[in-house]
Structure 1
Amino acid sequence: MDAQDSAEVGDEANEARTDGEAVVRGYYEAVDAGEYDKLAALLVPEFVHDRPDRTLSDRETFVSFMREDRPEKDTRHDVTAVYRAVGGDGDRDEDGDVPAEGWVARGRLVGADGRVRFEFADAFSLSADGVTRIETFVREG
């Protein structure tokens, strides 16, 4: 690999990081702004959200929950960090296929009164078509 090839690989990696991070941050922006069409556009139809209190098993169910049924709608996600999760086996699954790209976001959910409801870590799986899965971990305190 010559210097030009190396630079192109580096550019692609930076672009992938920027795109993945933009999708993750765009997710929180859409939720916080109540932009449910934008939120739906980020998710694949088979999207799954595993939360400590429930699992929401497709895009329409999730968006409906966010729009109508979540306990507190006037909140904001204070995202403190977004990381790309890199697999330990060269980013390939047991079949040798490249799995969905992984990202982790850390932050706090803040209520309208300014009080922190909980701290969270969301593990995102992204494909070329959008967010396929989010698993949420929380720490109250």
Structure 2
Amino acid sequence: MDGQNPADAGRETDGDETDGGPSGGEAVVRGYYEAIDAGDYDRLASLLAPEFVHDRPDRTLSDREAFVSFMREDRPEKDTTHDVTAVYRGVDADAEEWVARGRLVGADGRVRFEFVDAFSLVDDGVTRIETFAREG
């Protein structure tokens, strides 16, 4: 991913960039949730680096294939929607950092939990997501 301007670190974005939509890292972050919600596992895999790690409160998934397999076959509830309420960007020397805040909503409209996901991105995709969650 291209490095970000340090002056923009911590800036909240709303998905309405000058070209009419999110771009760069924000597009990757929003695309991640869109792919999961749509069950588009090929797109999901394309957004993740091979060495991808997802740290969740209940488990750690240690590579892209394990994560995509979990999302496709083993997650407890598949008919959900990620209601992303804010995306923030930050910069670190080794990776582009993004933070997304939102809610996971079930098919019945009830909030399952609120989340904050911290993303690390490099040229070949998302390398790490650390999830912090609170029951809704």
Measured against aligned partners, the alpha-carbon deviations of 1:10-55 in whole angstroms (never above 9, x if no partner) come to 7xx789x830000000000000000000000000111000000000
Residue matched to 1:43:
48
**How far apart, CA to CA, are the structure 2 residues paired with 1:49 and 1:124?**
9
Bigger relative CO (Cα 8 Å, ≥ 6 apart): 2
| Structure-1-length-normalised TM-score | 0.80
In the other structure, the counterpart of 1:122 is: 117
* TM-score, normalisation: structure 2: 0.83
Report how far residue 139 of structure 1 moved: 1.0
Q: Alignment partner of 1:77: what SS?
A: strand
More helix by share: 1
Q: Which residue of 2 aligns with 1:107?
A: 102
Q: What is the Cα deviation at residue 69 of structure 1?
A: 0.1
* 1:133 aligned to which of 97, 121, 128: 128
Structure 2 unaligned spans of 5+: 9-16
Q: Of Structure 1 and Structure 2, which has the larger fraction of its residues in strand?
A: 2
Higher Rg of the two aligned structures: 1
Unmatched 5+ stretches in structure 1: 1-8, 92-97
Opposite residue 131 of structure 2, the aligned amino acid is T
- Aligned identity (percent) is 81
Which portions of structure 1, spanning 4 or more consecutive aligned residues, are displaced by more than 3 angstroms? none
Say how many residue pairs are matched.
120
C-alpha distance in structure 2 between counterparts of 1:42 and 1:76, whole Å: 18
